[in-house]
């Protein structure tokens, strides 16, 4: 059953007071595809914009099984002990394909989710990854306005989701396993180049020497990469989430990165660039939505799709004709 929608003021006040259930409902509102919900959601976001931004946004990636959720479950309580409030959002490309999302199915981070200083929200599902990313950005701002000063955005390390996450965070953390080659871990050079902190995970038990060796190897390899735009050389660290070892060093490295980039101006520049990118992405999304909802397009699309499908018309020409129909005012 649908719950009654709150008023604009109720959303704003609830979030500013840090009420988790109102935050949760506001995110649901953002995710709604109803036009009236989207309008209200945009007003909520606009009103809360001045209260957002005060956090460190960290992207966390690595292949499934590398231990991302265990890591977040382990480092989360440590951060909360230090007086932080942590929000964890996820981008899950699998939800598009299977609907049974990897992140949604498992009772992930169950321990952390019980902590009143943590807010955990699985990925929204949508019919395209760009749209899902858009919602994640909006959710992130709402979490900040609700007083969460550390935001983790977790991704499953496949496909384009890393790039999307990279476009919305301040610091990008890649979890890796010792002993498995980069290819095996699906790590492309481009992802290594985006990485600010590389963590050799599961550095415990008999895996410890292997992890130390991998740490050295990656340290050497990263020296061969071009100097990052941030001018802060990426760090390589190791940790064990099960033994809760090395987590403090990772947090220190995040803070170090934040301080350095704030000092040299990169932090602010990157956020500016990301806001512009967001505008362009939003434009793309909204245009697309307008286009497909347009009565003329809805009327003509199915027929023209058939012609393309049968090879009777070229996709480029049909696209041009449809855009023409879309942009021509009714006579
Ligand atoms: P995700 O898919 O990246 O979120 O990975 P999970 O957090 O679900 O962890 C995958 C598996 O790795 C689980 O069986 C965990 O128990 C195990 N694991 C996670 N962290 C560690 C660690 O620090 N040490 C060891 N030895 N195993 C771990």
Structure confidence at residue 103 (pLDDT)? 47
Helix axes 129-145, 8-16, angle to 10 degrees: 60
**pLDDT tens digits along 28-82:** 999 888 888 989 999 999 999 999 999 999 999 988 889 999 999 999 999 999 9
Q: Which of 66, 67, 204 to mutate to test the pocket of ligand 1 (most atoms within 8 A of CB)?
A: 67
Q: Whole-prediction pTM value? A: 0.89
Nearest CA to ligand 1 atom 15: 67
Ligand 1 center to 205 CA (angstroms): 14
Tell me the β-bridge partners of 198: 174, 236
Structure confidence at residue 2 (pLDDT)? 54
Strands 56-61 and 171-177: parallel
- Over residues 287-299, the mean pLDDT reads 90
Structure confidence at residue 107 (pLDDT)? 54
> Cα–Cα distance between 213 and 150 in angstroms, integer?
31
- Over residues 238-266, the mean pLDDT reads 97
Ligand 1 center to 138 CA (angstroms): 29
Q: Which of 64, 70, 90 to mutate to test the pocket of ligand 1 (most atoms within 8 A of CB)?
A: 70
Ligand 1 center to 202 CA (angstroms): 7
Structure confidence at residue 31 (pLDDT)? 86
Phi-psi region of 210 (alpha: psi -120 to 50; beta: other; left: phi over 0): alpha
Taking the CA atoms of 215, 219, 224 and 230 in sequence, report the sign of the dihedral they define. Answer: positive
Percentage of residues in the chain with pLDDT exceeding 70? Answer: 89
Q: How confident is the model at residue 104 (pLDDT cuts 50, 70, 90)?
A: very low
Does residue 287 surpass a pLDDT of 50? Answer: yes
Ligand 1 center to 167 CA (angstroms): 26
Structure confidence at residue 124 (pLDDT)? 62
Considering only residues 158 and 1, tell me which one the structure prediction assigns the higher pLDDT.
158
Nearest CA to ligand 1 atom 5: 67
Structure confidence at residue 114 (pLDDT)? 86
Structure tokens that stand for 153 in this block = 């955005």
Atom of ligand 1 nearest to the CA of 243: 23
Report the pocket of ligand 1 as residue ranges, CB < 6 Å: 62, 64-70, 201-202, 204, 240-242
């Amino acid at each position: 059953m649908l719950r009654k929608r709150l008023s604009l003021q109720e959303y704003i006040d609830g979030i500013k007071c840090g009420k988790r259930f109102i935050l949760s409902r506001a995110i649901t509102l953002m995710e709604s595809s109803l036009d009236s919900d989207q309008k209200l959601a945009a007003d909520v976001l606009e009103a809360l914009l001045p209260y957002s931004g005060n956090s460190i946004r960290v992207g966390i990636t690595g292949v499934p099984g590398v231990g991302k959720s265990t890591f977040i479950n382990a480092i989360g309580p440590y951060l909360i002990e230090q007086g932080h409030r942590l929000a964890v959002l996820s981008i899950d490309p699998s939800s598009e394909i299977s609907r049974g999302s990897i992140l949604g199915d498992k009772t992930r981070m169950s321990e952390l989710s019980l902590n009143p200083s943590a807010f955990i929200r699985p990925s929204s599902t949508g019919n395209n990854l760009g749209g899902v990313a858009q919602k994640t950005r909006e959710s992130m701002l709402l979490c900040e306005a609700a007083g969460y000063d550390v935001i983790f955005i977790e991704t499953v390390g496949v496909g384009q989701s890393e790039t999307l996450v990279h476009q919305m965070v301040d610091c990008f953390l890649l979890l890796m396993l010792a002993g498995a080659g980069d290819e095996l871990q699906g790590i492309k050079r481009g992802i290594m180049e985006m990485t600010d902190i590389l963590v050799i995970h599961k550095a415990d038990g008999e895996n410890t020497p292997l992890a130390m060796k991998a740490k050295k190897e990656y340290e050497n390899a990263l020296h061969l990469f071009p100097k990052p735009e941030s001018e802060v050389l990426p760090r390589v660290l190791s940790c064990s989430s099960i033994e809760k070892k090395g987590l403090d060093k990772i947090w220190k490295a995040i803070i170090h990165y934040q301080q350095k980039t704030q000092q040299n101006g990169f932090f602010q520049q990157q956020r500016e660039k990301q806001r512009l990118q967001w505008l362009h992405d939003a434009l793309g999304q909204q245009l697309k939505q307008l286009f497909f909802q347009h009565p003329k397009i809805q009327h003509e699309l199915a027929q023209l799709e058939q012609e393309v499908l049968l090879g009777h018309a070229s996709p480029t020409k049909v696209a041009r004709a449809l855009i023409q129909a879309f942009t021509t005012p009714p006579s």
